[in-house]
Homo-oligomer: A and B are copies of this chain.
Amino acid sequence: MTLNIQEMMQDIGRRARSASRAMARASSEQKNQALLHIAKLIRQKASDIEKVNLQDVERAKANGQDAAFVDRLTMTLKTIETMALGLEQIVSLDDPIGKISAFQKQASGIEIGQMRVPLGVIGIIYESRPNVTIDAAALCLKSGNAVILRGGSEAIDSNTLLAHIIQEGLAAANLPKDAVQVVATTDRSAVGEMITMTQYIDVIVPRGGKSLIARLMAEARVPMIKHLDGICHTYIDADADIAMAIKVCDNAKTQRYAPCNAMETLLVNQAVGQKVLPTLCKIYQDKGVELRVDDLTRKTLEENGFQNLVDATEDDWQTEYLAPILSIKTVADIDEAMNHIERYGSKHTDAIITNNKAQADRFLREVDSASVMVNASTRFADGFEYGLGAEIGISNDKLHARGPVGLDGLTSMKYIVMGHGEIRT
């Protein structure tokens, strides 16, 4: 790394740390005022944003990026309005900062409580969607944190303009501009510095594809709120409502293929294979979903006239397809299903379809995933659907925040002790 990049990042870190103290003190009114001002500016400057974004888009096209990439990069008047609405939605959320739990008086006389406080400085490392600049910054501000944003080089012009708009909004509410800083370089070594400067950044939230996350996991010293894989399972139990199983499993796989909470592996109890697989797999094949199956599932399906089945390999059980491909395994019972999930799952989201309360309770308690569901589509694993109001990401780690992460995940609880001159004896 060049010394310049290191110095630049250290300077950004110092400014963020300093600004974080003012953010921790800021009132809810001040923070909301800043967010509303940013929303107003975004609407006022919508055509400027479009124009600047077009520079990024043209460059991406000139560099030969594919249509999906360009699509993610492109901001329209509609996506710009969505950003403004998102800001207003975050204004409407409760401010978690400063909330104090009930005090508990101890034998010594001291009273112990816990106060919700910001984490301090959040680093966001993200890829092409420039709207993340607004969405992520807004969540960090509302939760009283400073934030350092490192978007993809492809969106640098859009991100830099959005950062200026945010800083203008901060200034209008008498908050420090340094509370939101965009790393204005396309030099990749800036990321390496960011994920190791533990003195200035309290947590990194990476938003991007698996290769980005894997690289950061290998090198980061700053803790991360993240997930690598979303290998989500649905297990159809012997006591499932068959019509419900078909409806939910169709939705879990095909409503959208790309999200991390889409189902990748279907586990079917052998007692209901004949009842559920033919109808469900007809739906999948009609929608163009490739089926990769174990021997028992193949047998059931071939008896019912199915063709074009692929043998599932060991790799299939541990692959997040994010595509119209589904692996299917017929299992003897809930234990085989849970063993499969333990061995191949990614601790993201797993569901059981059953009307048997005892089986549901075992699944809920024993499956070690961030979200465990009964009779619902795995696609519900999402901050908005869980009522968090917004989402900075999804964690499948076990420490700190687990599952969809909203404002609370960007805070911590510190102990506060009210004494009256007590001493320890």
For the complex, what is the distance from the CA of A398 to the CA of B203, rounded to whole Å?
9
A248 and B421 in contact, given A110-B380, A400-B400 (Cβ under 8 angstroms): yes
Contact B375 A421 (CB under 8 A): yes
Type the 1/0 row for A189-215, where 1 means its CB is closer than 8 Å to any CB of B.
000000000000011000000000000
Q: Would you call A412 an interface residue if the criterion is a C-beta within 8 Å of the partner chain's C-beta atoms?
A: yes
Q: List residues of chain B with CB within 8 A of the CB of A110.
A: 373, 376, 380, 385
From A248, A255, A424, name the one whose CB has the most chain B CB atoms within 10 angstroms: A424
CA distance A397 to B223 in the complex (A): 10
Q: How far, in whole Å, are A254 and B174 apart by their CA atoms in the complex?
A: 44
Contact B373 A416 (CB under 8 A): yes
User: What are the residues of chain B within 8 A of A351 when measuring CB–CB?
Assistant: 417
Residues in chain B near residue A420, CB distance under 8 A: 375-376
Tell me how far the C-beta of A382 lies from the nearest C-beta in chain B, rounded to whole angstroms: 8
A98-B365, A379-B424 known; A399 and B417 CB under 8 Å? no
Q: How many copies does the complex hold?
A: 2
Contacting residue for A399 out of B119, B373, B414, B418, CB 8 A: B119
A236 to chain B, nearest CB (A): 12
Chain B residues contacting A404 (CB-CB under 8 Å) are 415
- Supposing A402-B412, A412-B398, A416-B364 touch, asked if A380 and B24 sit within 8 A by C-beta, the answer is no
Q: Is the CB of B424 within 8 A of A255?
A: yes
Give residues 372-387 of A contacting B (CB, 8 Å): 372-377, 379-381, 385-387
Add 6 more A-B contacts to A112-B387, A376-B420, A402-B413 (CB < 8 A): A21-B368, A119-B398, A251-B424, A368-B414, A375-B422, A377-B419
Q: Give 14 A-B contacts (CB < 8 Å), ordered by A residue.
A: A24-B366, A106-B386, A108-B380, A117-B365, A119-B399, A373-B416, A374-B419, A375-B418, A375-B419, A376-B418, A376-B422, A376-B423, A380-B417, A380-B419
Using a CB–CB cutoff of 8 Å, the interface residues on chain A facing chain B are 21, 24-25, 98, 104, 106, 108, 110, 112, 115, 117, 119-120, 202-203, 223, 241, 244, 247-248, 250-252, 255, 342, 351, 364-366, 368-377, 379-381, 385-387, 397-400, 402-404, 412-425
